[in-house]
Amino acid sequence: MAEPPRPPADYNPGPPPATNLVWGIVSAVLCCLPFGVLSIYQAAKVEKLWAQGDQDAALASARDARRWAVVAAVAGAVLWVAAIVTIVLLFGTLTDDAASN
């Protein structure tokens, strides 16, 4: 497999885009682990791609990291709401059964 071309020695594209790594970590810990891990993976690639001179791929990785963090947050919110509704319904059923006996 051929090595990608290296940027010239005087190459300075400026600061890389935001990696969204913090959002990936927060979403993995608090919301939904699988999607959060995907976000962390994409965020970890941003600076390396930027340093190699592949600005388009770095921007795409940053976008993907943000996208997976949002997906993890939404999935986590849905799971939390479903868990709370299930607990409330289960508790209501148990108290109704206890009251009827």
What confidence score (pLDDT) does residue 95 get? 79
Residue 73 in any domain: the answer is: yes
**Structural domain that includes position 57:** 21-100
- Sheet strands (E) in 4-98: none
pTM here? 0.76
Q: What is the pLDDT of residues 48-79, one digit of tens each?
A: 999 888 999 999 999 999 999 999 999 999 99
Residue 83 in any domain: the answer is: yes
Domain count, the chain: 1
Q: Specify the higher pLDDT residue, 3 or 75.
A: 75
Nearby residues of 31 by Cβ (< 8 Å), 6 or more positions away: 72, 73, 75, 76, 77, 79
Residue 25 in any domain: the answer is: yes
Nearby residues of 69 by Cβ (< 8 Å), 6 or more positions away: 20, 23, 24, 26, 27, 35, 36, 39
Residue 48 in any domain: the answer is: yes
